[in-house]
Structure formats: structure tokens, C-alpha cells
Chain A
Amino acid sequence: MKAFIGIWKMSMKFRIGFTMLAILILLGVFHRLLIRWLLGDIDPLEIGTGGGIFLDPSRDHLLGTDRYGRDMVGLLLSGLPITLEVAALAGVISTALGAIIGFVAGYNGGRLGDTILFTITDMFLVIPTLPLILILAAYAKGLGVIELSLVLSVFSWPFAARVIRSQVLSLRERPYVELSRMTNLSAWEIIWQDIFPNMLPYLGIGLAQASIGAAFALVGLTVLGLAPSGILDLGTLINNANQWGVLSLGKWWLFVAPMGILTLLFMGVALINQGLEDFYNPRLRGMS
């Protein structure tokens, strides 16, 4: 909490990013209430509830309606929490995975273990993984939010692993770790007591990068229309807009609204990430 106030005071980027993300999370958490308040007691995904297809924005429908006559605000509000959930879940899973691999590689992998694990991490970072995610997700029909997050985290853990490994490598050479080692503490004790507490900010950075990676992949999937059938997120709305050719109809807001919200999400997390990096690692300022 103290650290949070410190970062908040120091970094403008963190303030902006955190505010953006907080607004999105609030919208996501209270989406049912908001839908009820704005549209009344309806299911926003039900066809024809908006009273007409492809209506222009008006007072009743702030962003108009889509091809199935559904209110666009309602769709956005019900798509947002899914995007947020998958990004957060996949981010947490892949940070945990990345942390385990980063710690093992960086701390007690030895040279051989570190080389092997780092080569694998590097391989996942270098090769284009989106095609594989596409294929995987397209076939595992009936995936829920949790399974989808698992699939995505298989491909986004390297982002976290890389950040964490490099920090472990530098932390384990610190004098106080050396001291613990001399007093014969076990590797796990050293990791838990000496290294882990100092790693928290980097776990935060790893989490930010991994959830951005997962959100990018999720949006990629749903934008291409290859997402599991039960999942309607913001990317699905973009895919619909693309399929219906709304740009040639001049209804650009059907494209821009979901993209704008996603942009807010990406920017928010990226700014938080930048703020954390600036605060904990001034030498790395602005480097990616």
C-alpha cells in the first residue's frame, strides 16, 4: 500500500493508467446494474430488443443498434467483463508459470538448466504463436472462460518468465543473498525470504505484460471469428462489424466503440507497466 502511494505520487503514467483500468474494471463489475439502468430489464444479447436494426445513435440507444437489433451499449457492457476476465486469468496463470520457470532457471538451474529453460522461453518468444493459438482455440469448441485462459497462458508465460529470470539473476548476486547462502539457508528459504519479497514489483510488471499478451491473443482470436462459440467479447463485436461491412454502410461507430474500449484497456495496462518500471528501475526508463 505504501509502495502504491509512492508510485501514485511519482508517476503520472501510473496515475493515468490506473484510472483508466479502474474505470474499465468498475464498468465490468457493475455491468448488470448498468444495463438494467440504461436499457431496462432485458437480456442485451437477445435479438430484437433494441427495436430496429442498424439504428443510428439516439437518446434511447447511445451507440445505435446492430444487425440483430441489439443495443450496442448493452453489447459492449456484456462483452467487456469477458475480455477482462480472460486477460486477468490468463495473466495470473502465465505469471505463476513464468515465475516458476524464471526462478528455477535463474536461481538453481545451474548453467545447463538455465540454458535449456531460457532457450525454450526464447523459442516461444521468437516464433509466431498466434497461428497455433488460432488452431488450438478453433477446435476446442465449448471452451469456457477458464479453459480459454489456460490455452492463452500457454503462449503468454514467456513474457513473464523473461522479466522474472533476469531479475532473479541479478538479485541472487546481492550481498544479503550471499550472506544467507553462507549461513546455510536452503535454496527455497533464500528464494522465499530474500528474493521473493524483492521480486513483487517485477511480478507486477510480468503480470501486466502477460495479461496484455493474453488480451492481444484473445482479441486476435475473436476478431477472426475463431473464438469458442459461447464467448462474446469485445473482439467478437469487431468481427461482427467486419463481417457485416459496416464501414461501407458508414456506421463506423460499431467498429470504433469496441476498439476504443480495448485501446483504453491496452493503454491502461501499458501505462501501469511503464509507471512500475520507471519507479523500480529508473535506469531502464522508457526501454521496452
Chain B
Amino acid sequence: MATQIPSTTFEEFEGQEVQQERLLEKKMLLSPAMRYVLRRIGLYLITLWGSITASFIFIRLIPGDPIRAMVAQMQLQGGYNTISTSQSMSDFYEKQFGLNGNLLQQYLHYMNRVLLHLDFGPSLLSYPNPAMDLVKRGLPWTMALVGTSLVISWILGVVVGALVGWARKSRWADTINNISLGLSHIPAYFVAVVLLFIFAYNFPIFPANSAYDASIKPGWSFAFLWSVIQHMALPVIATVLVFAASWLNGTRALVIQILGEDYLTFASAKGLKNRQILLGYVMKNAWLPQISALALSLGAIINGNVLVEQLFRYPGVGQLLVMSTQQKDVNTMMAIVTILIVMTLTANLIVDLLLPLFDPRISYSGK
């Protein structure tokens, strides 16, 4: 996708590269498919490293010293205060939180801890519990919310979008298109507020906050699952409305482009029924490109989800992020940011690796 545009200024260096590639191909050291996979995984590792390092630097640049604030708080409660004890306490906690040494030392220590032990250090929000534990508690809720909204909105958007594109001249298609154009340009949070007011306060059909009814014991019981679904309904519907609208617009545009292709004229000249053309030709060409767009949209949907979770007081990582930001809990912030980045980049990697298997138009050679 990135570098397919032929360049006219063919520098020497590029010529060499092409020659080397040809040489490799000749020797059959690696099949083109294998090379594509390796290159994609290499790119994945580089972007992963780059984004984690960038966020590490961003977060460490935050002014203020949460450890000293904590120690001062503890001393206030403990009721004694000497300079040497306060210094040694600070040192102890700084070491515990991985905040001692200069930025490079901290970075190496951090990378080592995260890569080898999947450990982000203790959290400040509920010391001495590891930050990772807090994230693990919130992640299932967020993934359920984001995953459900993503799947439903994608299917709804692509199917309705294809139909709207197919019937683009009819009045109902036009109406749906205009509504979705409007919906796709407002934050999911706004829709959530409107839904909340109507369906939770005015007509109390759905609960207004938290993830399940506190009176039900969590477990794999029917009552608990039903309560979870009820609590998920409003946030999911809000996110689905906005994101389905943007899928709808994208798919509609794709379908209208496809409708002008020669093979469709040929298909109808062959005497295929409209339904066959729609399902076998139009849909098939429309849903594949939308799969790679699906992975790309993950970041946006997670962004929106932070706000939606906050509104519904949903115990996911979005709310955890806001809490840890208010408390200057550096380790928990890092853990959340890193895990969200790993999730989105991995989803993109998987889609990019699998897509050529489904879509014959994309070849493994990447050329």
C-alpha cells in the first residue's frame, strides 16, 4: 500500500536493491510469500518498538514527582519527619517503581522488565498491586465493549452500505445515506448521552452505569450474563450507530465505484439475476477492502471508547486510564497505553498477513 507508486527518478541505490531482490528470487532462498511475511513482521516490530519508546518518553516527561508526593502523604499520616528517613523512603519507592537513575537507565530497566517479565511495576492506585493486575481486571470489559461494537458496526455498515450503494437512485437509499453522513461526523459520546437520557432516565429500560448488577454474584450464570448484556447495550448501541455510519459511507462509495466496472455489464449481459450480481460480484469486491480498513479503525474506536466508558462509569481500561492520570500513576498509565498499542498493531498485523489468503488481488510479493 505504501510504496507501490512507480518512481521515475530511478536512483542507483534502488537499482541495486532491485537487482539484489532478483538475485534472491533466483536463488530461491525465500519464496515471495515468505519474504512478504518477514517484511511485514519486521515492520510490525519496528513500529511496536517506536511507539512504545515514544510513549515512554512522553509519559516520563511529565513534570512533578508522584513518589515524593506519596512519601510526604505517608509521613503526614505517620506523624514523624526527618530528612534522612524521607530521603531513604523516596529512594526505596523510586527503585520499586523503576523511577531511579537517568532517563536512559529507566528506559533500559523498563524495557527489560516489560519484555522479559510482562511486568509494568507496582501501581500507585492500589499499591502494592502490580499495574498489570489492574489492567487485567479492566481489559476484558473494554475488549468486550470494543469487540462487540466493532463487529456489529462493521457487519451492519458494510451490508447496509452495499445495499444503499446498489439502490443509490432510490429515495430511501438517499435518506439513509444523508443520515449516516451526519452521524459519522459526531463523537460516539454525544449519541451515548442522548441514548442515556432517553433509555435510562426518561424510560428506564436500560441501566445507566457500571458493567453489571452489583447484587448478582459474578460467574457463568445466566442471570449474570443477562445483566452484563443489559449494561453493555447502551454503550454498544451508541458506538455502533456512529461507526456503522462511517462504514456505510465508505462501503457505499466503494460499491458505486464497482458498479461502473465492465465485468458487471458483462455479468448482466450474461443474464445473471440482480441478486446474483449483488451477492457474487458487488459484495465480494466491497467487503474485502473494508477488512483492512477494519483493523485501521481500531485506534479510533478505542479513543471513542475512553469517553463512552467514562460516561457510563464502565470499569474498563478507559476509566482506569482517567483514574491513573488523575493520580499520576505512571506505571498504570504506561501499562494501559502499551497494551492498547500492542493490541491495535497486532490486529493490523494479523489482518495484513491473512488478507492475501482471501483476496487474490493482493499478491504476497508486495509489488
Contacts and interface: CB of A to CB of B under 8 A. Distances in A.
B348 A126 contact: yes
Contacts of B201: 247-248, 250
A115 B46 CA distance: 13
A119 interface: yes
Contact of B299 (A127, A178, A219): A127
A34 interface: no
Chain B interface size, as a band, is: 35 or more
Nearest to B50: A123
B231 interface: no
Contacts of A54: none
A266 B186 contact: yes
B36 to A, nearest CB: 15
B8 interface: yes
Interface string A126-141: 1111111011101110
A132 B58 contact: yes
Interface in B271-303: 296, 298-300, 302-303
Q: Find the residue from A120, A131, A226, A286 having the highest chain B CB count within 10 A.
A: A131
A286 to B, nearest CB: 4
A22 B173 CA distance: 30
A132 B337 contact: yes
B62 A139 contact: yes
Q: Find the residue from B43, B296, B299 having the highest chain A CB count within 10 A.
A: B299
Given A127-B341, A247-B201, A135 B11 contact: no
Contacts of A223: 189, 307, 310
B113 interface: no
Contacts of B296: 125-126
A240 B275 CA distance: 52
Contact of A286 (B13, B252, B300, B311): B252
A286 B249 contact: yes
B306 A134 contact: yes
B185 A129 contact: no
Contacts of A2: none
B197 A135 contact: no
A287 B253 CA distance: 5
Contact of A115 (B3, B256, B311): B3
Contacts of A226: 322, 325-326
B140 interface: no
Contacts of B310: 223-224, 242
B299 A125 contact: yes
B311 A242 contact: yes
Given A110-B11, A138-B326, A262-B190, A131 B43 contact: no
Contacts of B325: 134-135, 138, 226
A255 B185 CA distance: 18
Interface string B308-346: 001100000000011001101000010011001100110
Nearest to A264: B186
Interface string B205-233: 00010000000000000000000000000
Interface in B127-167: none
B63 A140 contact: yes
A131 B138 CA distance: 15
Given A135-B58, A267-B186, A285-B253, A130 B46 contact: no
A123 B298 CA distance: 13
A66 interface: no
B2 A115 contact: yes
Interface string A165-209: 000011001000010000000000000000000000000000000
A8 interface: no
A128 B50 contact: no
23 contacts: A111-B11, A115-B2, A115-B3, A118-B2, A119-B43, A120-B50, A125-B296, A127-B345, A128-B340, A130-B303, A131-B340, A138-B326, A139-B62, A139-B63, A139-B328, A178-B8, A216-B187, A220-B187, A220-B189, A223-B189, A255-B197, A262-B186, A262-B190
Interface of A: 110-112, 114-115, 118-120, 122-123, 125-132, 134-136, 138-140, 169-170, 173, 178, 212, 216, 219-220, 223-224, 226, 238, 242, 247-248, 250, 252, 255-256, 259, 262-263, 266-267, 270, 274, 284-288
Given A114-B2, A220-B189, 6 more contacts: A123-B51, A132-B337, A226-B326, A247-B193, A266-B187, A288-B253
Ranked 3 nearest A-B pairs via Cβ: A130-B303, A270-B185, A287-B253
